[in-house]
């Protein structure tokens, strides 16, 4: 049995699923409920759902759609997008989600992380770190769908979120996301060395070997986007999941 969690990441755009590239251009993938059913059949470890517009347009999570997804899914679920207060997180847990993912709200009200974890436990909160690059090539944290830049360094922010009570970090490389070009190994190694909580590597996976490299860099789990919604790079939509035997072989 695999010790490393391999987590499909589904991106919500209104009521549809899409896939982005570097947080910009997106391609329509399909209906979220039907896609979730396919991942049920594929028996994935966990499923992550991110609404890419809620925060940017100051909308709360689409609880109607989220409720339907929770009722259809048999695996552990995490959700991020538009969560700005404790009551929204509470409603998500009551709907059936095991974890909430906080990004933009953590910069505005970092105490929200502590408030949630004090009630539901550290394991119930993932803080998302979206890392881009400045015009000078310096690593730069982003929020609000990559549109807002922050001066705090990724390492300092990761440590602060751990201190606030986050149970995991979802580390996404904006410049690698959707490219099939491999993970940002340098940043993964830096963040994993700086904190004691699990780090989920996301952004850039194009092969099973990329997954192995991310794990070798210290990632406790690997999140996949393009690899699980396209047949292959440049091809059409095909919801899939890596063969468990192949994963076991490459990670052993």
Q: What pLDDT is attached to residue 2? A: 53
Distance (Å, whole) CA 41 – CA 33: 13
Distances in whole angstroms, Cα of residue 43 to Cα of each of 20, 47, 166, 206? 24, 10, 27, 21
Count CB atoms within 10 A of the CB of residue 214: 30
Which residue is listed with tokens 């947080």? 23
Sign for the CA dihedral angle at 74, 44, 5, 87 comes to negative
pLDDT at 58 over 90: no
In tens, the pLDDT along 1-31 reads 457 999 999 999 989 999 999 999 889 999 9
Helices (H), the chain: 32-42, 63-72, 86-95, 104-108, 111-120, 154-164, 185-194, 208-216, 226-229, 244-251
pLDDT at 184 over 50: yes
Give, in degrees to the nearest 5, the angle at Cα 160 between 159 and 163.
Answer: 90
Mean pLDDT, range 47-67, rounded to an integer = 93
Q: Of 31, 45, 51, 130, which is the active-site residue?
A: 130
Residue 45 pLDDT grade (very low, low, confident, very high; cuts 50, 70, 90): confident
Residue 166: DSSP 8-state = -
Which residue is listed with tokens 């406790």? 220
Residue 58: DSSP 8-state = T
Distances in whole angstroms, Cα of residue 124 to Cα of each of 61, 92, 182? 17, 11, 28
pLDDT at 164 over 80: yes
Mean pLDDT, range 72-98, rounded to an integer = 96
Residue 94: DSSP 8-state = H
Using DSSP's 3-state secondary structure scheme, residue 129 falls into strand
130 is catalytic: yes
- CATH superfamily of domain region 5-251: Aldolase class I (3.20.20.70)
Whether pTM > 0.85 for this model: the answer is yes
Mean pLDDT, range 154-160, rounded to an integer = 98
Break the chain into its structural domains and give their ranges: 5-251
Percent of the chain with pLDDT over 70: 99
- Looking at every residue in the chain, the average pLDDT score rounds to 95
In tens, the pLDDT along 229-248 reads 999 998 899 999 999 999 99
In tens, the pLDDT along 101-145 reads 999 999 999 999 999 999 999 999 999 999 999 989 999 999 999
For residue 2 the two structure tokens come to 């695999």
């Amino acid at each position: 049995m695999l010790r490393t969690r391999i987590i499909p990441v589904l991106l919500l755009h209104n009521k549809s699923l899409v896939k982005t590239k570097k947080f910009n251009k997106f391609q329509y993938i399909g209906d979220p409920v039907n896609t979730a059913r396919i991942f049920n059949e594929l028996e994935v470890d966990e499923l992550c759902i991110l609404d890419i517009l809620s925060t940017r347009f100051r909308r709360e999570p689409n609880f109607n759609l989220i409720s339907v997804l929770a009722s259809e899914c048999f695996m552990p679920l995490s959700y991020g997008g538009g969560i700005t207060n404790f009551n929204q997180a509470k409603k998500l847990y009551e709907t059936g989600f095991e974890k909430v993912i906080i990004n933009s709200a953590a910069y505005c009200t970092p105490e929200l992380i502590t408030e949630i974890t004090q009630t539901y436990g550290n394991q119930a909160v993932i803080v998302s770190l979206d890392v881009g690059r400045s015009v000078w090539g310096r690593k730069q944290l982003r929020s609000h769908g990559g549109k807002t830049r922050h001066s705090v360094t990724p390492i300092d922010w990761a440590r602060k979120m751990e201190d606030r009570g986050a149970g995991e970090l979802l580390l996404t490389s904006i410049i690698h996301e959707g490219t099939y070009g491999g993970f940002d190994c340098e940043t993964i190694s830096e963040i994993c060395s700086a904190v004691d909580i699990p780090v989920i590597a996301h952004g850039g996976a194009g092969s099973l070997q990329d997954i192995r490299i991310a794990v070798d860099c210290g990632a406790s789990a690997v999140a996949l986007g393009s690899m699980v919604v396209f047949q292959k790079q440049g091809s059409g939509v095909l919801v899939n999941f890596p063969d468990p035997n192949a994963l076991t072989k490459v990670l052993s």
